[in-house]
Amino acid sequence: MKRLPIAAAAASLLLLGSCSQSSKQMQDKIDSLTNVVQMQESQLQNTNSFIDLMNVSMDSVLNADGRFIVGANQEGVPSNAAKMKANVDAYSDMLNAQRERIAQLEQQIKDNNDAASQKMKTMIAKMKAQIDAKDAEIAVLREEIANNRLNIAELERENSNLTQNVNVLTAQNRIQQQQLDYANAKMSTGYYIVASKKELKNLGLLSGGNLLKKSKLDLRDVDLSNFKKLNIQRDRVIQIPDKSAKVLTQNPTDSYTLQSNNDGTCTLTINNAERFWSVSNYLVIQY
């Protein structure tokens, strides 16, 4: 009768031990599942945050087209070639950063085949396609900028050549103008001398003048220092210090008049300058 309680106690101890071991295993499983759920929730949260960041970043890339692709600032003012190149480089750097983020996201979900992961993979494919398209645009832009630089360099060379040509033409025009001014001045300048017969002979402008030979005007070796200058366009009157005088040069007689004055002088007045100076720019008056 005393052994029964001992056997019963032993059976109870065995049952309690078995229940305790089963409870511990169950708790371990629960803890393990809890950790898995927490990790999945954390991973899902990180993934959602990453997707949100990617969406914002892609929006920033797309919104940047107006500044980088078009090559203009926020006010719409076109950028120069150097500024456009800097913009394109910055835009390319932005795309590379986006590409790295997408690669990280792909690595996180590459082995997942659930519906959420498949959706993210589809989204990633679209993002990569957008970046590839932008890469193609950047390649075109770089080529256009390079071509523009070549065009600008060619234009600068042409402009330099044009500048040199203009400088040469300017120098030539200046020389031609100087020659023209000199020719006009020469054509507009008349030389005259008013002297007695003796003075004219002493100057070598008259030869002869005796009983056998008539005086003859000689302008073959003229010393201009003995002559006075006048402007044949403006100067029309010459005063002669004698009451009588005659024109020895071949100026047409109908182009001028000689008038005696009360003070014992006379005045030569040119009435038709063009005709008067048509023969020569030299005028010799003897009194």
Provide mean pLDDT across the span 252-271. Answer: 96
Confidence check: pLDDT of 277 > 80: yes
The answer to whether the Cα torsion of 236, 239, 243, 245 is positive or negative is negative
Q: Within 13 Å and on the Cβ side, how many CA atoms surround 21? A: 6
d(CA 247, CA 53) in angstroms, rounded, equals: 109
Residues 41 and 161 in one domain: yes
| pLDDT at residue 269 greater than cutoff 90 | yes
Is the domain of 234 the same as that of 129? Answer: no
Question: Has residue 112 been placed in a domain?
Answer: yes
Helices (H), 189-234: 197-202
Are the beta carbons of 269 and 237 closer than 8 angstroms? yes
* pLDDT reading at 12 higher than 90: no
Give the percent of the chain with pLDDT over 90.
Answer: 28
pLDDT (mean) for 134-153: 74
What is the average pLDDT value for the chain, to the nearest integer?
A: 77
Q: Span 91-111, mean pLDDT?
A: 81
Residue 191 lies inside a defined structural domain of this protein: no
Task: Domain count for the chain, please give it.
Answer: 2
Residue that finishes a domain, picked among 167, 187, 215: 167
**225 and 136 inside one domain:** no
- 154 in the same domain as 38: yes
pLDDT at 192 over 90: yes
Out of 123-137, 143-157, 210-224, 233-247, the most confident range is 233-247
Domain boundary among 147, 167, 187: 167
First to last CA, the chain: 192
- What contacts 24+ positions apart, CB below 8 Å, involve 203-208? 205/284, 206/248, 206/286
What are the pLDDT digits (tens) for 36-60?
A: 556 655 555 655 665 565 555 555 5
List 190's β-bridge partners, or say none. 230
Range of the domain at 45: 23-167
In a domain, 16, yes or no: no
Q: What is the mean pLDDT of residues 22-40?
A: 66
Residues 125 and 257 in one domain: no
